[in-house]
């Protein structure tokens, strides 16, 4: 990523993206450019406690467990969520910084992403 902290314009409209930056961002965006993954992300993020068990997620879809698992892996590989096994069940939660980074891409007057 080129240095772009606290600007007046959306980073995407500030200067032309390099080929590598664009490729990198496209990977991130592809991860969320899917109805199922969007809903998963939303369900995880809005779940009480900030985390959700896979068993809670699977029921909401008309998809098999392997498919849900696949989508969760895509989100996890993209760095948008993380998970932990606790006993029998696996819990997922959102990584806020990653989501915020997506938002900053398209948002004017980006706040300084304190990390």
Partner DNA sequence: CTCCTGATTCGATGCCGATCTAAATGATAG
Partner DNA sequence: CTATCATTTAGATCGGCATCGAATCAGGAG
Closest CA to 53 of 88, 99, 17: 88
Distances from the Cα of 107 to the Cα of 40, 50, 56, 81, 95, angstroms:
23, 24, 32, 21, 19
In the block, tokens 């997506």 appear at 102
Residue 69, interface with a second copy (CB under 8 A)? no
In the block, tokens 């948002």 appear at 107
Straight-line distance from the first to the last Cα atom of the chain, in angstroms, rounded to the nearest whole number: 15
Using CA atoms, how far apart are residues 81 and 32, in angstroms rounded to an integer?
11
DSSP letter at 111 equals -
CB of 113 to a second copy, least distance (A): 9
CB of 90 to a second copy, least distance (A): 17
Interface with DNA (CB under 7 A), residue from 66, 112, 114, 115: 66
Residue 72, interface with DNA (CB under 7 A)? yes
Which of DNA, a second copy, none lies near 25, with the C-beta cut-off 5 to 8 A by kind?
Answer: a second copy
Q: How many CB atoms lie within 10 A of CB 71?
A: 21
Stretch of 1-9, 65-73, 83-91 contacting a second copy, by CB under 8 A:
1-9
Residue 90, interface with a second copy (CB under 8 A)? no
Which residues contact a second copy by CB under 8 A? 1, 3-7, 9-10, 12-17, 19, 22-23, 25-26, 29-30, 32-36, 38-39, 41-43, 45-46, 48-50, 60, 93-96, 99-100, 102-108, 111, 114-115
């Amino acid at each position: 990523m080129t240095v772009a902290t606290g600007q007046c314009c959306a980073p995407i409209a500030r200067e032309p993206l390099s080929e590598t930056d664009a490729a990198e961002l496209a990977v991130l965006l592809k991860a969320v450019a899917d109805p199922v993954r969007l809903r998963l992300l939303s369900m995880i993020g809005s779940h009480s406690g900030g985390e959700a068990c896979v068993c809670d997620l699977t029921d909401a879809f008309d998809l098999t467990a392997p498919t849900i698992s696949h989508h969760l892996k895509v989100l996890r590989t993209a760095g948008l969520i993380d998970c932990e096994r606790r006993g029998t069940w696996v819990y997922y939660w959102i990584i806020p910084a990653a989501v915020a980074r997506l938002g900053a891409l398209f948002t004017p007057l980006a706040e300084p992403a304190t990390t």
